[in-house]
Amino acid sequence: MPETPKVAIVTGAARGIGAATAKRLARDGFAVAVLDLDEAACAETVTAIEKEGGRALAVGVDVADAERVEAAVNRVADELGAPLVLVNNAGITRDNLLFKMTDHDWDSVMGVHLRGAFLMSRAVQKHMTAVGWGRIVNLSSTSALGNRGQANYSAAKAGLQGFTKTLAIELGKFGVTVNAVAPGFIATEMTAATAERLGMSFEGFKKASATQIPVARVGEPDDIAHTVSFFASEGAGFVSGQVIYVAGGPKD
């Protein structure tokens, strides 16, 4: 890694997978920019990092807004240093069957997942290519393989895999690797909301889901954070354009 400040940006880092990833990268020695739509919501993640002796900065940003993304990345560069790791984790769900799905349901999900990853990567890559080292990690999902009621989310997560592979080809010669992590069932507020939508208790939903997973448990945010940590490391420099399913068993 070059002799410059080690700075990572994690989007959607106020809670869940993003918060766990931000905390893990801080333990790895990175100063972490904690980005989310609501800057105030990032306080818990920032406080947790600072209590362990790390450096963190809360930044509010709509990742689907090009001007705000540029402003956010510039602020990170000014206050923490040039960001050399980017984790595109921000995401939303607007689940529905195709015939019930609205234009807004589709556009909102595409905007946050695909447009957001595009805008953030475009804004950050100049810092990485300038020093000849960088790591971009995109959060896909097992839903990329298809999932009833998630035509928008599945398409966005599959799109992120193609985006990952293309950026790996384009940015590799500049010392930048680009990979994707595709979680299976992870116990977060998002999956709790799914359980509620299905009329199930969250504990019952997790127990039922675990019976379909070879390792016989659902995942936790730290399971994803550990994998992101590997992709962000110096030792992962010869791994690029890959999608790893972190789902407790094999996926096609």
pLDDT value at 190 more than 80: yes
* Same domain, residue pair 175 and 202: no
Of 3, 179, 156, 165, the closest CA to residue 91 belongs to 156
Average pLDDT of span 79-104: 97
Query: Among residues of the chain, what percentage have pLDDT more than 70?
Result: 98
- Crossing angle of helices 116-131 and 151-171, in 10° steps, is 20
- The pLDDT of residue 191 is 87
The β-bridge partners of 60 are: 36
pLDDT at 223 over 80: yes
pLDDT tens readout for residues 156-169: 999 999 999 999 99
Domain count, the chain: 2
208 and 168 housed in the same domain:
no
For residue range 224-244, list pLDDT tens digits in order: 999 999 999 999 999 999 999
- Residue (of 107, 226, 113, 101) closest to 160 by Cα position: 113
- For residues 33 and 111, the answer to whether their CB atoms sit within 8 Å is no
> Residue 92 pLDDT more than 50?
yes
Q: Which residue has tokens 């946050």? A: 112
The per-residue pLDDT for 198 is 84
Q: What pLDDT is stored for residue 194 in this prediction? A: 85
0.75 cut: is pTM over it? yes
251 found inside a domain: no
Containing domain of residue 206, as a range? 185-218
Looking at the structure, tell me whether residues 103 and 200 fall in a common domain: no
CATH of the domain at 37: 3.40.50.720
Give the residue-averaged pLDDT of 45-71: 98
Residue 57 in domain: yes
As a whole number of angstroms, the distance between CA 222 and CA 215 comes to 16
Condensed to tens digits (0 to 9), the pLDDT of residues 192-211 reads 888 888 899 999 999 999 99
pLDDT score of 5: 52
Give residue for tokens 């002799």. Answer: 3
Q: Are 247 and 185 in contact (CB under 8 A)?
A: yes
**Helix H or strand E segment including 9:** strand 7-11
3-state class (DSSP) for residue 58: strand
Pick the catalytic residue from 30, 106, 133, 153.
153
C-alpha distances (whole Å) from 60 to each of 11, 39, 145, 204 are 10, 4, 32, 35
- Domain assignment present for 204: yes
pLDDT tens figures, 111-137:
999 999 999 999 999 999 999 999 999
What span, in angstroms and rounded, lies between the C-alpha atoms of 146 and 140? 12
In a domain, 166, yes or no: yes
DSSP string computed for 62-77: -TT-HHHHHHHHHHHH
Residue 197 within any structural domain of the chain: yes
Same domain flag for 206 and 237: no
Instruction: Examine the residue annotation and report whether 245 is marked as an active-site residue of this protein.
Output: no
Q: 60 lies in a domain? A: yes
Whether residues 102 and 22 share a domain: the answer is yes
pLDDT tier, 2 (very low <50, low <70, confident <90, very high otherwise): very low
Cα three-residue angle 93-137-182, rounded to 5 degrees: 50
